[in-house]
Amino acid sequence: MEQQLNPDKLNELLFKVVGDLGAAFSTSLVIIGDKLGLYSALAKSPSTPAELAKAAGVNARYAEEWLNQQAASGYVSYDKDKKKYYMTPEQAAAFADSSSPAYMPGAFEVAAATVHAEPKIAEKFRSGEGLPWKEHHNCLFNGTEKFFRANYVGNLVGGWLPALEGVTEKLTRGARVADIGCGHGASTILMAEAFPESDFTGFDYHEQSITTANNRARERGLSERLAFEVADATSFPGGDYDLIAHFDCFHDLGDPFGAAKRVKETLAKDGTWMIVEPFANDNAEDNHNPVGRVFYGASTSICVPCSLALNGPALGAQAGEQKLSQVIREAGFTRIRRAAETPFNIVLEVKH
């Protein structure tokens, strides 16, 4: 039976689409605001477009249009009496302060990477092939570090590590740590700075990211006990690690079972494997919400293609604890528990 179009429901859908289009057009403008220092300049002082342009060294007409788009988005505010734009403390935390746990510009860079990848991904839809991480636009690598680093700043040392049995105490005394799939090393560096008695090694198969990570370590004077090496998740060197971590990357792997086996081979007898993954329920329909929408979006263009490029199972960013635990148990682990969670992540503690 043919259904009749409901004008009210159509209008409701179109208004939603308009909101989504506003968000889509914001992507490049948030990146520009971050790159050119517009947010940081505005956070220091309420400004007219001309004043902001002078402070940031940009053209006033561009600044005016950018400010109005940002105000319409709710990312900056406008004082109609003083005719000046400004940022609330919350807006500054989200867009102007790169040390804030709520810092969001990196997420927009990741979103931009999916647009850059669209022609390639469209072809992969037809062929069923994957797209390796290294073949993405450079904004993916920079955006991933910015976005996830903010999350780690807010949770890793103060919340997630203490939630693991005895791990903080070991790190304080001195432990051996391997960070697998470390990217630019944001998570590894945060841990190394927090626990000066421990030794850390970050591994990633992406050579460009490892070069960047080693540069970051040298800049912070951490090179004596922090190193980054090019290595695959299934064959990274070393052994007897007290802590092995996979931060937001296990679902991307081409061989998650092989990676789990390698952890079992290299983890100390009383060691801990920490797996940080995007928050997901086990049933797909339970992830049909705003957070799941973001993760499924990134997963379609980044995570699934990355795993398929390596002939992997393509677990996806919304794999869920049940699917992840199945892989872990198949590798021989029997002790798995959810140690912590946030609206955006689950943290699994795995032991022999």
Q: What is the 3-state secondary structure (H, E, C) of the chain?
A: CCCCCCHHHHHHHHHHHHHHHHHHHHHHHHHHHHHCCHHHHHHHCCECHHHHHHHHCCCHHHHHHHHHHHHHHCCCEEECCCCEEECCHHHHHHHCCCCCCCCCHHHHHHHHHHHHHHHHHHHHHHHCCCCCHHHCCHHHHHHHHHHHHHHHHHHHHHHHHHHCCCHHHHHHHCCEEEEECCCCCHHHHHHHHHCCCCEEEEEECCHHHHHHHHHHHHHCCCCCCEEEEECCCCCCCCCCEEEEEEECCHHHCCCHHHHHHHHHHHEEEEEEEEEEEECCCCCHHHHCCHHHHHHHHHHHHHHHHHHHHCCCCCCCCCCCHHHHHHHHHHCCCCEEEEEEECCCEEEEEEEC
Q: Is the pLDDT of residue 3 over 90?
A: no
7-95 has CATH 3.40.50.2300 classification = no
* Residues of each domain in the chain carrying CATH 1.10.10.10: 7-95
For 223-245, the pLDDT digits (tens) are 889 999 999 999 999 999 999 99
**Residues 258, 264: Cα–Cα separation, whole Å:** 10
Instruction: Quickly state the pLDDT bin for 2 (edges 50, 70, 90).
Output: confident
**Residues 33, 120: Cα–Cα separation, whole Å:** 28
How long a stretch of residues is the chain? 352
What is the topology classification, in CATH, of domain 105-351? Rossmann fold (3.40.50)
Instruction: Quickly state the pLDDT bin for 85 (edges 50, 70, 90).
Output: very high
**Residues 76, 78: Cα–Cα separation, whole Å:** 7
| Exposed / middle / buried, residue 163 (Cβ in 10 Å: 0-12, 13-18, 19+) | middle
Q: Is the pLDDT of residue 178 over 90?
A: yes
Q: Using a pLDDT cut of 90, give the percent of the chain over it.
A: 99
Instruction: Quickly state the pLDDT bin for 1 (edges 50, 70, 90).
Output: low
The chain-wide mean pLDDT, for the chain, equals 96
* Residues of each domain in the chain carrying CATH 3.40.50.150: 105-351
What crossing angle do the helices spanning 256-266 and 321-330 adopt, rounded to 10°? 60
For 19-65, the pLDDT digits (tens) are 999 999 999 999 999 999 999 999 999 999 999 999 999 999 999 99
Mean pLDDT of all residues in 87-114:
96
Mean pLDDT of all residues in 204-223:
94
Q: Which two tokens stand for residue 222?
A: 């951490």
For 322-352, the pLDDT digits (tens) are 999 999 999 999 999 999 999 999 999 999 9
For 117-152, the pLDDT digits (tens) are 999 999 999 999 999 999 999 999 999 999 999 999
**Residues 211, 86: Cα–Cα separation, whole Å:** 38
Q: Using a pLDDT cut of 70, give the percent of the chain over it.
A: 100
Strands 241-247 and 226-230: unpaired
